[in-house]
Amino acid sequence: MDITVLRICLLSALFLCQCSVNCNRIDYPKFENADEAPYMYIVSERGECSYMIHTDMEVSGKTIKTNGILTNVENAFFVEGVNSNDAQVKLFDFSKKVGDAYFVDFNPGSSIETKVSVDDIIKKNDSSEVYLFRLTDSFSYQGHKSDLIFFVSAKRGIIGSYVSDFYNGQELVIDQRGDILLSDIDYRKKEFRIME
């Protein structure tokens, strides 16, 4: 009898361990004014490991201004609902290193993928890391495509963004939104511009 009870307890514990999700709560910044918020940002907490997001970017050749879902699991942020279908894609992958690139298909089955690369990883004083993810050709203005740079932390979520373009070999920082770590990054070789 005691062995049977022990087996049931062990099986129950094993089942509960397999069902638990490995995620940490995100202490995301609140943006009072949408015009100052990053091009993708967390709006509210939805449930365990899940958050409502607002997106304003170009995906698969279409401008997307919509709400979606961000899920924080497996050392990455997955997003869904940012395109016409509800496919969940791994967008911000914290296992990548500086210089790593991968492709995201927001519309599975299409031939259009978005290139995501890690431009930099900034180590903060509180031992957290902020990744600078570059989404190639994810912003369009007057027919010209530019990249979006997102500042993303596993602890704080999407904290900032800017439009990145190049002119005469110099990077242009356009329409900065949220926290782009002005005190942590040397921007002297970059030129700041505003959207006209």
Residue 41 pLDDT exceeds 50:
yes
Tell me, yes or no, whether 108 lies in a domain: yes
Question: For residue 15, is it within any domain?
Answer: no
- Give a yes or no: residue 9 inside a domain: no
Q: Which residues pair with 121 in a beta bridge?
A: 131
Selection from 78, 164, 94 nearest residue 129 by Cα: 94
| pLDDT band per the 50, 70, 90 thresholds, residue 84 | low
User: What are 49-69's pLDDT values in tens digits?
Assistant: 899 999 887 665 666 677 889
Residue 13 lies inside a defined structural domain of this protein? no
Answer yes or no: is 103 within a domain: yes
For 23, the token pair is: 């995620």
20-30 tens-digit pLDDT: 456 778 999 99
158 close to 40: Cβ distance less than 8 angstroms: yes
pLDDT at 86: 62
The reply to whether 98 falls in a domain is yes
pLDDT of 168 higher than 50: yes
Q: Is the pLDDT of residue 11 over 60?
A: no
14 domain residue, yes or no: no
pLDDT tens, residue by residue, 143-163: 788 999 999 999 999 999 999
* Cα 4 → chain centroid: 47
Helix (H, G, I), strand (E, B) or coil at 160: strand
* Counted domains in the chain: 1
Sign of torsion, CA 152 158 164 170? Answer: negative
Query: What was the pLDDT predicted at 124?
Result: 87
3 lies in a domain? no
pLDDT greater at residue 107 or residue 175: 175
CA torsion, points 35, 141, 179, 194, in degrees to nearest 10?
A: -80
pLDDT 10s digits, 111-125: 678 899 999 999 988
- Taking the C-alpha atoms of 164, 66, 75 and 10 in order, what is their torsion angle to the nearest 10 degrees? 180
Greatest CA separation found in the chain? 79
For residue 83, what are the domain limits? 22-193
